[in-house]
Amino acid sequence: MRYLAAILTALVMLAGPALSASVNVLIEERARADYGSDLPDAGDFDITVKDTLQGEVAALAEFWMDPRTGKFLANAVLNTGDVQRISGLAQITIPVPVPNQRLLPGEIVDEADLVIAHLPIGRIGSYAITNPAEVIGKQVRRVLSQGRPIQAQSIIQPLVIDRGDRVDIHFSDGLLALSSPGRALSDAHRGQEIRIVNLISNKTVIAVATGDGTVEIKR
């Protein structure tokens, strides 16, 4: 091992400053190689070395890592030629939009309500939204906590009709246009089908929500 360390140190010294790098860079290079294609495109590394280094690290002679936990163990070759065993964490982080304040059901998410946080992938979950564009303009369905990833099921398209609302029912076949008052039997966002009670005929019809308090019966 001492012989290998000496060779690695000599190679770094011969190559000059171009090959010198911080220990974090060296660890990230090896960690990326271990993850391979499993590393998310937007993934980055948050690296923590638990041990106090006894000198400048010239290279890593050996590197072992558990991709599930991010725990690593390495033999660091110091610029003195000595080898030091180091350990720590190399956690994958993903940039995700999170609320900068608590958002309540019914509120519409605005760009100013969000910040980008780099969170460990293990804290995000498979249903967390990573693209801010998929959040902005949506309506909060379940309470969104400050600093926590936003789950897809916690937001919806903004509702234009709430259950029990009085609505205007419109029908047109190109020649004849009719309108009638109705009452919504469920919630609906724009473009969603909804059951409506026609308050004149007292019959239930299926219509499409077209705007605030308006629905249209399609032919």
- What are the extents of the domains in the chain? 2-93, 97-156, 159-217
Structure tokens belonging to residue 100: 């900068």
- Measured CA angle at 41 (ends 51, 98), to 5 deg: 80
Structure tokens belonging to residue 162: 């709430």
The Cα 159–Cα 186 span in angstroms is 11
- List the CATH code of the domain at 159-217: 2.30.30.760
Are 116 and 96 in contact, with CB atoms under 8 Å apart? yes
Q: In this structure, which amino acid lies at residue 125?
A: G
Q: In the structure, what pLDDT confidence band is assigned to residue 15 with cuts at 50, 70 and 90?
A: very low
The Cα 165–Cα 128 span in angstroms is 32
pTM, 2 dp: 0.68
Q: What is the mean pLDDT of the chain?
A: 88
Provide the pLDDT for residue 21.
57
- Of 22-31, 89-98, 172-181, the poorest mean pLDDT is in 172-181
At the topology level of CATH, where does 97-156 sit?
Type Iii Antifreeze Protein Isoform Hplc 12 (3.90.1210)
- Residues of the chain with pLDDT > 90: what percent? 68
Q: CA 4 from chain center: how many Å?
A: 43
Q: In this structure, which amino acid lies at residue 160?
A: V
